[in-house]
Amino acid sequence: MYRHGDKIYGPFSGLEMQDRYSSFQPNVLVKKSEDPEFEPLGQFVRRIANTREPFLVPQIGIAHRPFSSEKLVSAKTKEEEEEEELERQISEMEEAEAEREKQEAKIHAKRAGAKAEYEKNRKMEADENVRKLREAEREMERLEDEREKNRAENGLRKRQEPSAFTLQMISPSVRVDSPIIFENILPTTTVKQVKAKFRDAIPSKPEDELQRLVHRGRILARETETMLDIFGEEAVTTKSSPVKRCVLISNVLSLVTQRLRRLFI
């Protein structure tokens, strides 16, 4: 029998109580006819030590009516259905949990892939920036080296570039007004070119073979000889004021005294 509030229901057979067992709450008060007091269903089940069929367990020394085979089969069938339903629900829950875990794994994989792609792109971008920076640095170094090279070449060219000078020519001939001065003569000017300048400067226009150029007692017979060869590199490459060089000139009609005078202006 069992009690609900102040009302007592029963007595029922063990099979009938077993039929009602699934609808009982754990705190419902139950007892067997031979028990002196009601007790909570949970405590009763623990005492019987059978959670599946607590009301079908015969107690020692207590006579019981024989069970109806039909009701027993019905009770077992119902319990089996309930167990199957419970197993089905558990299986569905497990499947749902597995599907949830599967979806979470997919989401996690997508997030990991997106993060890896982001890190890859960021690394590629950083590498590209570093490459461009290094190229810019190399280009700046190249330009700086080129500027330094140009400065050095310009400085060397300025140091080595012969400066123009003034050439003063003196002739003992009475038909020539001495001295004859030629401005801005380059050190690369040859003896032949000086003779041409001298020919153009006087009215008699003497031919080259009639001219004799003398410097420091030496006749300048080789017409391809330059002023640089004659006066020397140090003299013509100086950065001081252009120098007037004196060269004696004669022709076959006059005898010349060979001397050279250097004047600075």
Average pLDDT estimate for 55-64: 58
Cα atoms in the Cβ-side hemisphere of radius 13 Å centred on 112 = 6
User: In this predicted structure, what is the pLDDT of residue 68?
Assistant: 52
Report CA torsion sign: 224, 229, 235, 237: positive
The 8-class DSSP code of residue 261 comes to -
CA distance 147 to 153: 10
pLDDT score of 192: 92
CA pair distance 49, 208, nearest whole angstrom: 147
Dist. CA 95–CA 136, nearest whole Å: 60
How far is residue 99 from each of residues 112, 180, 189, 228, measured CA to CA in Å? Answer: 20, 114, 101, 100
Task: With CA atoms as reference, report the closest residue to 167 among 180, 156, 153, 177.
Answer: 180
| Measured distance CA(65)–CA(56) in Å, rounded | 11
Q: pLDDT band at 167, cuts 50/70/90?
A: confident
Q: What gap in Å lies between CA 47 and CA 165, rounded to an integer?
A: 135
User: Is 152 exposed, middle or buried, given 0-12, 13-18 or 19+ CB atoms closer than 10 A?
Assistant: exposed
Q: Is the pLDDT of residue 64 over 60?
A: no
The reported pLDDT for the residue numbered 224 is 92
The values of phi and psi at residue 151, to 5°, are -60, -45
Question: pTM of the entire structure?
Answer: 0.35
191-225 residue pLDDT tens: 999 999 888 888 888 888 888 888 888 888 899 99
Q: Which two tokens mark 86? A: 């419970």
Residue 236 has pLDDT above 90, yes or no: no
Query: Which pLDDT tens digit goes with each residue over 15-54?
Result: 888 888 888 877 888 888 777 888 888 888 888 787 788 8
**Whether the Cβ atoms of residue 178 and residue 254 lie closer than 8 Å to each other:** no
Q: Give me the pLDDT at residue 262, please.
A: 40
Q: Model confidence over 116-142: pLDDT tens digits?
A: 999 999 999 999 999 999 999 999 999
Average pLDDT of the residues of the chain: 77
Sign, CA torsion 236/238/242/246: negative
Amino acid at residue number 74: S
Exposed/middle/buried for 34, CB within 10 Å: 0-12, 13-18, 19+? exposed
CA quadruple 213, 204, 256, 258: dihedral, nearest 10? -30
Residue 103: the pLDDT is 93
Q: What is the pLDDT of residue 208?
A: 84
- pLDDT above 70 covers a percentage of the chain that reads 77
Per-residue model confidence (pLDDT) at position 246: 54
